Amino acid sequence: MKIYYDQDADLSLLKDQTIAILGYGSQGHAHALNLRDSGLKVIVGLRAGGPSYERAQADGFEVLAPHLACSRAEIIMVLVPDQIQPQLYREAIEPNLSPGKMLMFAHGFNIHYGQIVPPKEVDVTMVAPKGPGHLVRREFERGAGVPCLVAVHQDATGQALARALAYAKGIGGTRAGVIETTFREETETDLFGEQCVLCGGVSALIKAGFETLVEAGYPPELAYFECCHELKLIVDLIYEGGLSFMRYSISDTAEYGDLTRGPRIIDQRVKEEMKRILEEIQSGRFAREWILENQAGRPVMNALRRQEAAHPIEEVGARLREMMPWLKKK
């Protein structure tokens, strides 16, 4: 595994170039501010009247319509939501991709699944921070950085990797370490992680635990605390020091239950389903399904959202969180 640090990246490769950041959300604002603080020339591409337009202007950036930003810039970083990217690409980016420019992404979905096919004469790279935008900004401001992935899909200039690493340095990534990967690996592992573990797996586990206790006659309030609320405490420990540190911190009773019962819950059958889900990702079946779902106006997604919102865990959770004022959003 190749990991790049500050000494492996040369910021001066981008010195005389203009960088267009398309989108000013979680990642966009952090990239734009960090790159500017690194001494690079940054412009922001947004729709007039869009929600983050004024914020980017208030932060002192020149904000242009996306197609104008793309025509002005040598480096174009696409930080709008993934499902918006193909249309934005056709309308604003593609007509402005002259030879030698570099098109960049923070996630590989649209390139890997062929939703965006750039011309051969441009570099196509990815710099993907392994953390949300506010962390990318906060770590940079205190002189550190968030680890990133870097990948090259197309190297037209012979400088694609070096330019991508310079960009990664500009957002602070090489302070922490930048791991080389491919668009395929990044896309497939990202989808697998969110479907099987982080989002899909964890949500299903929480609901199954909650339902089991409630169906057995226990108060939903207790079921919520034990199967949902306390998850954060455990995840924080794992985040900080891995599974061993979490197990060190919990009681021996909890640890013995974990070691003997955990494997009965997530058993061979679950792993076999994970392998099938991975295969759907690798074959492009999931991507096709999601693209068609969007084209059809998201009928399945909307129905599932409504169904999930009506789950009893949501009503109990809302009531209990009212009792915990420190959880209130700022």
**Cα 37 to Cα 61: distance, rounded to the nearest angstrom:** 12
Stretch that binds ligand NAD, among 48-56, 152-160, 218-226, 281-289 (CB under 6 A): 48-56
Q: Is 226 annotated as a binding residue?
A: yes
Cα 254 from Cα 251, distance rounded (Å): 5
Distance separating alpha carbons of residues 74 and 302, to the nearest angstrom: 39
Work out what residue 39 binds among Mg ion, ligand NAD, none; the CB cut-off runs from 5 to 8 Å by kind: none
- Minimum distance of Mg ion from residue 190's CB (angstroms): 4
DSSP string for residues in 260-313: HHHHHHS-HHHHHHHHHHHHHHHHTHHHHHHHHHHHTT-HHHHHHHHHHHTSHH
Tell me how far, at minimum, the Cβ of 247 lies from Mg ion, in Å.
6
Judged by CB under 6 A, which stretch of 25-33, 177-185, 294-302, 314-322 contacts ligand NAD?
25-33
Which residue number, 25 or 201, has a Cβ lying nearer to ligand NAD?
A: 25
Q: Is 65 helix (H, G, I), strand (E, B) or coil?
A: coil
Residue 284 CB, shortest distance to ligand NAD, in Å, is: 18
**Which residue's entry shows tokens 């990246």?**
9
> Which residue, judged by CB position, is nearest to Mg ion in the bound state?
190
Among 84, 202, 205, 206, binds ligand NAD (CB under 6 A): 84
**R_g over Cα of the chain:** 22
In 3-state terms, what secondary structure has residue 167?
helix
**The binder of ligand NAD chosen from 14, 69, 106, 127 (CB under 6 A):** 106
Cα–Cα distance, 111 to 117 (Å, whole number): 7
Q: Is 31 a catalytic residue?
A: no
Closer Cβ to ligand NAD, 46 or 103, answer by number: 46
CB 176 within 8 Å of CB 147: yes
Whichever of 147 and 317 has its CB closer to ligand NAD, that residue is: 147
Q: Which residues bind ligand NAD (CB under 6 A)?
A: 22-28, 46-47, 50-52, 66, 79-82, 84, 88, 106-107, 128-129, 132-133
- Return residues touching Mg ion (CB under 5 A): 190, 194, 255
Catalytically active residues are 107
